[in-house]
Amino acid sequence: MIRHWPLGLLLLLPIIGLGGAPLFDLDEGAFTAATTEMFLRGDFWSTYLLGEPRTDKPILIYWLQAVSIWAFGSTEWAFRLPSALAGSAWIAITWLFVARVADPGRALLAALLVATAAGISVILRAATADALLNLWLAGAGYAAWLWLAEGRIVWRYVGFAAMALGFLTKGPVAVVVPAAAVFIWCASRGEWRQFWRWGIGNDIRSLGPVLLFVVLASPWFIVQYLREGMVFFEGFFLKHNLQRYDSAMEGHRGQYFYYLWVVPLSLLPHTGWLLAALMRLRRVWVDPLQRFGLLWFLFVLVFFSFSGTKLPHYVYYGYGGLILVLIGQSHLHRFAAFVPALLGFGFLVALPWLLAAAVPDLRPDDRLLAADLGAHFDTTYSAVFAVLTLLNLLWLLRRRNTQWVIYWQGVTAALAFALVLLPAIGGLLQDPIRQAGKIAAGMSAPLTLYGVNTPSFQTYAGRAVARPA
């Protein structure tokens, strides 16, 4: 057991610092306010936000958040706990899969990438549906590969169960991504029938996984239809899936190359592994497992690059595959290992000064938030990221660097993000909303949001909040 302590620490990382930052609007605020409204309405089947039906997402994450706050109270920690536990499970199944198909050394590296890459670290601590969805996507993708490699029907059952739970978490994307990965993989080998055998089986006896998917995924949607008719289906499938892909919603637009900068930044401090893979694409292609991972990731990258609505975490749906590519690299030069991290931490050291320099150009209301800049980005913040910058410089200058240096680089970065960076940013942006909500909790007058879209106010108030028509 002692020899597995590095993995144990990675499994604990998502839980550390969960309550350090206020809830972020819009996403965390919307999810937690909708869960809060389930208790206020006494309705745990349909979701509402500020008195109006919320058709953005299916039900699973709301149920898990409801269980958590029922058990632990309405706190940031409790709202984020389901995502953190999903993150720990994602780390665990990544380790188990890579240990099965490769070796324990690469399994630990894969777990490290999931647990400590900057972008993933954020969603593992966010009270949204994305950590949970990525758990199901990884489970479905890895189960699909094991079925392709071993032919055991149990892996089809596991994969289809994961897709069903993903469908209950965020909808069709939970089926589209694994199915596309398997289809493109089979197409790259000219094995078209293999894809159909994965999807529907050879005969009536092999339809079991499909039936399992239907049994798990359909009951909630059926009841929603019986309760609300086509309202939810039109809002969810047409607006928040088709329309979201066709056009930019809520101002989340970007160019076709949007994700080409999101990917390297989101992998910090491990961006060097991506650079190494790009230098060895031919080797990646000839290795079956790495090719499968590459095709999985490239589908997600291209698919969402053409989406009208762009958010950074959309590309993470392909990271289960990307990790299989990154761990396939035999070694990492110390410059690739530490220069990206050095630049990233150096930027974070300078961030308070950059924000202060931008204050004169802000709108008047944003200047009020910036008045507390020094209170949030204090000497502790500066000291932590200065030390991390110095450590990465020292590691860069060393002649030899072991895998343990890479390990501690990731762990220290994740801890700094969770315990220092996110609380600083969250405090700056969201402390006024949190304080207002807590004051409103003790008031008896009706509550209404005017001119702002900050649903976390309802979460903190613990009371019904209206939104003007």
Query: Within a 13 Å sphere around the CA of 148, how many CA atoms are in the beta-carbon half?
Result: 26
Length of the chain: 469
Question: What's the pLDDT score for residue 203?
Answer: 74
Question: What's the pLDDT score for residue 253?
Answer: 59
Query: Is the predicted pLDDT of residue 174 greater than 70, yes or no?
Result: yes
Segment 191-207 mean pLDDT = 84
Q: Which two tokens stand for residue 245?
A: 């892909």
The model carries a pTM of: 0.93
Query: Is the predicted pLDDT of residue 323 greater than 80, yes or no?
Result: yes
Q: How confident is residue 250, by pLDDT bands cut at 50, 70 and 90?
A: low
Nearest to 387 by CA among 341, 336, 427, 334: 341
Query: Is the predicted pLDDT of residue 467 greater than 50, yes or no?
Result: yes
Nearest to 458 by CA among 144, 154, 32: 32
Q: Is the model more confident about 98 or about 57?
A: 98
Query: Is the predicted pLDDT of residue 128 greater than 70, yes or no?
Result: yes
Question: What's the pLDDT score for residue 200?
Answer: 84
**What does pLDDT average to over the chain?**
90
Contact 18, 417 (CB under 8 A): no
**pLDDT tens digits for range 42-58:** 999 999 999 888 888 89
Query: Is the predicted pLDDT of residue 260 greater than 60, yes or no?
Result: yes
Q: How confident is residue 216, by pLDDT bands cut at 50, 70 and 90?
A: very high
Question: What's the pLDDT score for residue 241?
Answer: 57
Question: What's the pLDDT score for residue 1?
Answer: 43
Segment 364-371 mean pLDDT = 68
Segment 118-125 mean pLDDT = 95
Nearest to 273 by CA among 397, 403, 398: 403
Query: Is the predicted pLDDT of residue 469 greater than 80, yes or no?
Result: no
**pLDDT tens digits for range 328-362:** 887 788 888 899 999 999 999 999 988 888 777 77
Query: Is the predicted pLDDT of residue 290 greater than 90, yes or no?
Result: yes
What's the rounded Cα separation, in Å, for the pair 30 and 188?
A: 41
| CA-angle at 124, arms to 428 and 107, nearest 5° | 140
Question: What's the pLDDT score for residue 331?
Answer: 79
Q: Is the model more confident about 310 or about 167?
A: 167
Amino acid at 456: S
Give residue 90's Cα distance to chain centre. Answer: 10
| DSSP per residue, 81-143 | HHHHHHHHHHHHHHHHHHHHHS-HHHHHHHHHHHHH-HHHHHHHTSSSSHHHHHHHHHHHHHH
Write phi, then psi, for 371 (nearest 5 degrees).
Answer: -60, -25
Contact 129, 169 (CB under 8 A): yes
Q: What does the buried/exposed string (b/e) look like for 59-88 if buried means 16 or more CB atoms within 10 Å of the residue's CB? A: bbbbbbbbebbeeeebebbbbbbbbbbbbb
% of the chain with per-residue pLDDT over 90 = 66
Q: What residue spans define the domains of the chain?
A: 86-332, 333-463
Question: What's the pLDDT score for residue 25?
Answer: 87
Query: Is the predicted pLDDT of residue 145 greater than 60, yes or no?
Result: yes
Contact 328, 285 (CB under 8 A): no
